[in-house]
Amino acid sequence: MVPYRVGLGYDIHPLVEGRRLVLGGVLIPFERGLLGHSDGDVVCHALMDSLLGACGLGDIGEFFPPQDPKWRDAESIRLLEDVVVRVREKGWDIGNVDVMLVAEKPRIAPFVARIRESLARVLGVPEEQVGFKVTTNEGLGSIGRGEGMCCFAVSLLVQRKP
C-alpha cells in the first residue's frame, strides 16, 4: 500500500440574508451568511471532502445527508471533528492540508489566523501544517458579484506505522 494519499475537496454556497457567516468554525461579522442545510461553512465542507476522498470514504453527503433533519443547522466544525476521527480509525494521520477560500466580501484577511488556528485544533496538527489562503474572483461570475463563496482544499494523509 502507498504510504501517502492525497484528497481534493470543493464546496460552494450562496450568501443570503438572515444567516450567520461561519468559516472554518469562526463566526465572521457580516450581514449575510452561507445558505446550506448545516451552517454552510464552505471551508469545513471542502476540507471534509478532501480528507474523506484521500481515505477513499466517499463524500460528506454520504455521512451527513442534507435530507436528514439531524444535520439541520449543524456546526460544520463538529462534522469535521467526526471526519478526523474516521480518518484516524482507517490508520491515517494528517500530513498537511491546504485550503483556498474564494470570496469577494467581506474582507477575510483579519480572520485568517483564527480560522487557521481553529482548523489546526480540530485536525490535531500544528498550525504550520495548515495552509489557509483567501482570494477574490476579480469581480467575475457569481462569486465575483458577491453572490456566494467557494472553497478548494487538498489534504495529504500519511499511513500510520503499526
Binding region for a divalent metal cation: 11, 13, 45
Binding-site residue positions:
11-13, 37-38, 45, 59-61, 135-138, 145
How do strand 92-102 and strand 130-135 relate by DSSP bridges? parallel
3-state secondary structure of 82: helix
